[in-house]
């Protein structure tokens, strides 16, 4: 069977190209051996289910692993304590059915529970459920580990809180009295169960969920490193012999995705199944190159997928999150992390942002560009400068290539025409947004751009423009005197070295009344810098 890159559901080593999970599994096994109860809360499509599946196999020689999925139960099963308890008991027995036949002690205990479930005993509660489970744990030949996937599907129910409370109580009894219960409990979902806001009926009050405060921190990195990605690509290369430069492609995948599992696998799948065989990249050898990778990035950003839909929905559900991201991206406003800030905590939990040195950053280039595209699209329909750019498009793209010099020249003309009389405060805040509104309709569908996060701030932004494999660096900055400008020129020159380029561009938003607008060239060593002053 030919292996594939998988982005839908569970990844299976025999069917799919995967990273090596062994190191992570060893770390989780250590937590289980310590008797930890914990939550694997990561963003959508971050490999949680695949990790649990691999963990089940990894632990089974030492532990009896009971693996459950709350999504299978359905909302109706959480209607009340009795229904949930009977359903959970039945599901639990189903998962250990292979073990029941091997132990007479188990068989007696399990038969009693099965009778109660068949009779739908109306007096069966969480208390009785946990008494039965603890008896099973006490007669088991191996310590019992409970794993529950998709706990988010139950999170808005009082019964779920009561279930967590029982787990907590028996955990405490295990530590204080030696009560035999689960060796370890692992819950998986997007939300951090320790701080989940849950609706409590019948009063419709909002309450912070605390019955899971015994949970250990789960700090294991589930993102893919460049080394992880290289290992996966080596497996692919041994099957297909494309001649790809594995370290280069792995580094590119990491640079654009920051190791987000779905994005890495999706880009690989696009290269393998869509880019390879296209007009520009006839073979897999052609596709597994830097230009083939950039083509896959363009294809990814142009598609709708479940991860992007989730991102869009969260922006609708949490307007404060959307506003924060707009300020961060379009205005270059630094967002400092504040303990207890719900918006930042939610953004981090959903995987949209990371926190570095006390400040918020969008999690990866793909998300960043997707967000830019969405925010700018909302404005471009009614933006005069976007309409002017659209009219110039045919003259700026020649023979399939982007004429950057002409693009810059036309931007200066249109910017001066439209915004020459606006006040400094407006232009200082919106200069970069206006430039992005200008270039987007010109490159849309054929090119992409992203902001280099290492240099983005309120005063300076480095824009990397990718058009059909041609990369260009354009620095956007606020003029702050000749000395500041000279430093910016030197920084841009150094940045061109990093990208192995000889020519770069600067757009300076200058608010000096005696400024000289226009375009001039600066030679720095072997570099040519084209500066536009507006």
Is the pLDDT at 486 greater than 70? The verdict is no
Question: Which stretches within 381-505 are classed as H helix?
Answer: 384-396, 404-419, 424-443, 482-498
Per-residue pLDDT reduced to its tens digit, 443-466: 987 888 887 765 444 455 678 898
Residue 340 in any domain: the answer is yes
Same domain, 311 and 285: no
Residue 368 in any domain: the answer is no
Q: Can you give the pLDDT at residue 403?
A: 94
Per-residue pLDDT reduced to its tens digit, 158-183: 888 889 999 999 999 999 999 999 99
Residue 382 in any domain: the answer is no
Per-residue pLDDT reduced to its tens digit, 380-419: 878 899 999 999 999 999 888 899 999 999 999 998 888 8
Higher-pLDDT residue of 512, 38 = 38
Residue 273 in any domain: the answer is yes
Same domain, 482 and 432: yes
Q: Can you give the pLDDT at residue 201?
A: 41
Is the pLDDT at 205 greater than 70? The verdict is no
CA distances from 469 to 3, 272, 292 (A): 29, 18, 8
Same domain, 39 and 82: yes
Q: Can you give the pLDDT at residue 338?
A: 80
Q: What is the DSSP letter of 225?
A: P
Same domain, 503 and 456: yes
Same domain, 122 and 152: yes
pLDDT, mean over the chain: 85
Same domain, 107 and 145: yes
Enclosing domain of residue 241: 226-302
Looking at 160, 178, 208, the residue that finishes a domain is: 208
Residue 71 in any domain: the answer is yes
For the ranges 69-78, 173-182, 215-224, 368-377, the lowest mean pLDDT is seen at 69-78
Is the pLDDT at 277 greater than 70? The verdict is yes
Q: How far apart are CA 350 and CA 370, in angstroms?
A: 15
Same domain, 204 and 172: yes
Q: Can you give the pLDDT at residue 450?
A: 82
How many Å separate Cα 357 from the centre of its chain? Answer: 19
Same domain, 200 and 234: no
Residue 48 in any domain: the answer is yes
**Which whole number is the average pLDDT over 227-249?**
97
Closest CA relative to residue 46, chosen from 72, 19, 15 = 19
In 13-71 the beta strands, taken as DSSP E runs, fall at 37-41, 64-69
Is the pLDDT at 511 greater than 90? The verdict is no
CB-based burial label for 405 (10 Å; 0-12, 13-18, 19+): middle
**Which whole number is the average pLDDT over 504-515?**
78
236: confidence class by pLDDT, cuts 50, 70, 90 = very high
List CB contacts of 29: < 8 A, sequence separation 6 or more: 58, 59
Looking at 181, 208, 235, the residue that finishes a domain is: 208
Is the pLDDT at 431 greater than 90? The verdict is no
Number of domains in the chain: 4
Place of tokens 């290992």: 231
Looking at 164, 180, 208, the residue that finishes a domain is: 208
143: confidence class by pLDDT, cuts 50, 70, 90 = very high
Is the pLDDT at 77 greater than 80? The verdict is no
Same domain, 35 and 180: yes
Is the pLDDT at 340 greater than 80? The verdict is no
Same domain, 331 and 263: no
Instruction: Tell which phi-psi region holds residue 150, choosing left (phi > 0), alpha (psi between -120 and 50) or beta.
Output: left
Is the pLDDT at 321 greater than 60? The verdict is yes
Is the pLDDT at 2 greater than 80? The verdict is yes
Same domain, 73 and 141: yes
Per-residue pLDDT reduced to its tens digit, 96-105: 877 666 666 6
Structure token pair of residue 79: 């209607």
Q: Can you give the pLDDT at residue 245?
A: 98
468: confidence class by pLDDT, cuts 50, 70, 90 = confident
Same domain, 435 and 518: yes
Is the pLDDT at 301 greater than 80? The verdict is yes
Q: Can you give the pLDDT at residue 159?
A: 87
- Give the CATH number, domain containing residue 38: 3.40.50.300
Angle between helix 319-330 and helix 365-380 axes, rounded to 10 deg = 100
Residue 371 in any domain: the answer is no
Residue 7 in any domain: the answer is no
């Amino acid at each position: 069977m030919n292996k594939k890159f998988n982005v839908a559901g569970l990844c299976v080593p025999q069917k799919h190209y995967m990273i090596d999970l062994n190191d992570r599994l060893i770390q989780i096994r250590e937590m289980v051996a310590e008797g930890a109860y914990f939550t694997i809360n990561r963003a959508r499509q971050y490999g949680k289910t695949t990790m649990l599946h691999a963990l089940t196999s990894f632990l089974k020689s030492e532990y009896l692993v009971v693996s459950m999925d709350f999504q299978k139960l359905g909302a109706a099963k959480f209607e009340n304590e009795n229904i949930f308890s009977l359903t959970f008991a039945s599901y639990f027995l189903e998962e250990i059915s292979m073990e029941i036949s091997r132990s007479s002690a188990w068989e007696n205990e399990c038969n009693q529970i099965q009778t109660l479930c068949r009779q739908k005993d109306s007096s069966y509660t969480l208390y009785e459920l946990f008494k039965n489970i603890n008896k099973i744990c006490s007669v088991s030949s191996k310590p019992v580990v409970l794993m529950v996937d998709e706990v988010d599907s139950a999170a808005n129910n009082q019964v779920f809180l009561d279930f967590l409370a029982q787990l907590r109580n028996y955990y405490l009894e295990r530590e204080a009295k030696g009560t035999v219960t689960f060796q370890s409990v692992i819950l998986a979902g997007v939300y951090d169960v320790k701080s989940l806001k849950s609706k409590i009926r019948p009063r419709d009050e909002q309450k912070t969920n605390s019955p899971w405060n015994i949970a250990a921190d789960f700090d294991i990195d589930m993102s893919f490193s460049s080394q992880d990605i290289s290992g996966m690509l080596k497996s692919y290369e041994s099957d297909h012999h494309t001649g790809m430069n594995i370290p280069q492609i792995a580094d590119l995948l990491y640079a654009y995705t920051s190791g987000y599992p779905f994005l890495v696998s999706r880009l690989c799948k696009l290269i393998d199944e869509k880019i390879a065989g296209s007009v520009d990249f006839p073979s897999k050898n052609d596709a597994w190159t830097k230009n083939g990778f950039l083509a896959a990035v363009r294809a990814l950003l142009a598609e709708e997928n479940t991860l992007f839909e989730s991102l869009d929905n969260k922006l609708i559900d949490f307007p404060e999150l959307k506003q924060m991201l707009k300020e961060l991206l379009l205005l270059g406003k630094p967002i400092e992390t504040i303990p207890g800030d719900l918006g930042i905590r939610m953004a981090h939990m959903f995987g949209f942002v990371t926190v570095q040195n006390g400040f918020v950053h969008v999690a990866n280039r793909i998300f960043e560009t997707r967000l830019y595209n969405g925010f700018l699209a909302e404005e471009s329909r009614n933006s005069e400068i976007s309409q002017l750019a659209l009219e110039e498009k045919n003259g700026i793209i020649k023979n399939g290539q982007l004429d950057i010099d002409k693009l810059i020249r036309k931007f200066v003309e249109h910017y001066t025409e439209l915004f020459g009389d606006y006040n400094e405060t407006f232009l200082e805040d919106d200069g970069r947004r206006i430039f992005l509104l200008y270039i987007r309709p010109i490159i849309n569908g054929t090119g992409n751009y992203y902001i280099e996060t290492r240099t983005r701030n309120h005063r300076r932004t480095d824009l990397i423009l990718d058009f059909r494999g041609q990369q260009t660096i354009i620095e956007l900055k606020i003029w702050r005197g000749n000395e500041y400008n000279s430093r910016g020129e030197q920084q841009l020159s150094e940045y061109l070295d990093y990208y192995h380029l000889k020519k770069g561009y600067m757009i300076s938003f200058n608010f000096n009344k005696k400024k000289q607008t226009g375009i001039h060239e600066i030679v720095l060593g072997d570099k040519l810098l084209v500066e536009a002053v507006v």
